[in-house]
Structure 1
Amino acid sequence: MNANHKTIFIAFSSQKGGVGKSTFTTLIASTMHYRLGYNVAVFDADFPQHSLMKMKSRDL
C-alpha cells in the first residue's frame, strides 16, 4: 500500500435514532480494514449508547 495516501474522512449521520448508523459504520470500517487494508479509526459521537464498543467486543 502506498504510504502517501491522504486521510479520508467519512461521516454517517441522521437526526432520527435507530436507523442503523452504528451498525453501518461498523460494517464499513470492518470492510475497509479487513478487505481493503486501510488503517481505520472510528469515533462515536453518540457516547451514551456505547453501540460501537459493544459491536467491537462482539467482533473480537
Structure 2
Amino acid sequence: MTCPYCQSANAEGALVCASCGRDIAVPATLIAERDDLRRKRDELRDELRQARDEVEAIMRRRKPR
C-alpha cells in the first residue's frame, strides 16, 4: 500500500505510514460507499450515452433531404 501523503511503500493493511507516521487506513464503509458511487456513476453514464444516441437518431430523422 502506498502512502497518499509521502508516496512511500507500506505493508498491505498498514494503519499508519512507516515513513511519515500519518494515518493511512481507509474504513471498509468508505470503500463500500466509493464502490457504490462508482457503480451509480457508470449507470448514469450509460443512461446519458443512450439518451444522446436517441437524440441523434431523432435529429437524423428530422433533417430535410
- Greater fraction of residues in helix: 2
Same fold, judged at TM 0.5 (above): no
Larger Rg: 2
Larger relative contact order (Cα-Cα within 8 Å, sequence gap ≥ 6): 1
TM-score (norm 2): 0.28
